[in-house]
């Protein structure tokens, strides 16, 4: 097991800035966090090597892209055998409509976050695809009325 490097105050400032704008140049980032450009670059590389920093992406506006309906769907499986859960998780990975999936404790086995164009689109997806999966026993859908808060930033 490799020892993890301690994350100090400058690392935390770097992480906070990158969570707000990952397109900052190393020079801009260094100026904002009070470090040299070279030091900032080394710290970023170390945070990447430690797995703290992952890949860089751009956030899209789902509504402007015709995916304005956000549904949270609880799923209960017929069986908890490894084959059933693996088959369901492979299915989830293959579906672009499902943008998040969590294995859950409690009454439901999974929580899916699904983005679709409209209610009809969701009905088709749920009835013809999700509920017909051989591992799925039942589901319960909850439509988001409004997005009150959304962030990708991890509290530091």
Coil, helix or strand at residue 122: helix
C-alpha span between 110 and 73 (Å, rounded): 8
The average pLDDT across 53-61 equals: 94
* Higher-scoring residue by pLDDT: 149, 3: 149
Look at residues 132, 123, 117 and name the one whose alpha carbon lies nearest to residue 68: 117
Domain boundaries, the chain: 9-49, 69-143
- If you average pLDDT over residues 12-27, what whole number do you get? 96
The mean pLDDT of 75-83, rounded to a whole number, is 97
- The class of domain 9-49 in CATH terms is mainly alpha
Residue 2: its pLDDT value, please? 57
* Helix (H) or strand (E) run with residue 126 in it: none
Mean pLDDT of 102-114: 98
Q: Which CATH class is domain 69-143?
A: alpha beta
Confidence of residue 5 (pLDDT cuts 50, 70, 90): confident
| 117-148 pLDDT, tens digit each | 999 999 999 999 999 999 999 999 999 999 99
Tell whether the model's pLDDT for residue 69 goes beyond 70: yes
Q: Tell me if domain 9-49 and domain 69-143 are identical in fold.
A: no
Q: Which residues contact 137 (CB under 8 A, 6 or more apart)?
A: 76, 77, 78
């Amino acid at each position: 097991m490799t020892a993890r490097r301690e994350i100090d105050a400058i690392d935390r400032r770097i992480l906070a800035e990158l969570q707000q704008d990952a397109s900052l140049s190393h020079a801009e980032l260094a100026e904002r966090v009070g470090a040299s450009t070279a030091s900032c670059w080394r710290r970023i590389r170390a945070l990447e090597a430690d797995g703290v920093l992952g890949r860089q992406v751009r956030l899209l506006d789902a509504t402007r892209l015709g995916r304005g309906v956000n549904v949270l769907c609880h799923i209960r499986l017929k069986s908890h055998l490894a084959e059933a859960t693996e088959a369901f998780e492979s299915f989830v990975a293959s579906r672009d409509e499902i943008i998040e999936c969590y294995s859950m404790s409690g009454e439901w086995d999974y929580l899916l976050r699904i983005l679709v164009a409209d209610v009809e689109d969701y009905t088709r997806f749920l009835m013809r695809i999700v509920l017909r999966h051989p591992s799925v026993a039942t589901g319960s859908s909850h439509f988001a009325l409004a997005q009150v808060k959304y962030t990708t930033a991890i509290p530091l």
